[in-house]
Amino acid sequence: MTNRKITNLYNVEFTPFDNYGIVVPGMSWHKISYNKENGGNGTYLLKMEPN
């Protein structure tokens, strides 16, 4: 497995979640290998704010 990527979960920068064209309030994400143009395949971290 030569394409392995290790991500430090404690040292990532989250950006507003805008995968559907607009920012979703209370949600942010960090893309690891996600590619929307490639059918939406890949991996990302999703963070949701508490109510």
Task: Read off the pLDDT of residues 10-51 as tens digits, 9 standing for 90 and up.
Answer: 999 999 999 999 999 999 999 999 988 888 889 999 999 997
C-alpha count within 13 angstroms, C-beta hemisphere, residue 40 = 2
Binned at pLDDT 50, 70 and 90, residue 2 comes out as: confident
Q: How far apart are CA 2 and CA 37, in angstroms?
A: 23
pLDDT for the residue numbered 1: 57
Taking a C-beta distance cutoff of 8 angstroms, is the pair 23, 17 a contact?
Answer: yes
- Calculate the dihedral angle through the C-alpha atoms of 21, 13, 45, 17, rounding to the nearest 10 degrees: -20
* Higher-pLDDT residue of 18, 4: 18
Tokens of 18: 């805008």
3-class DSSP state of 35: strand
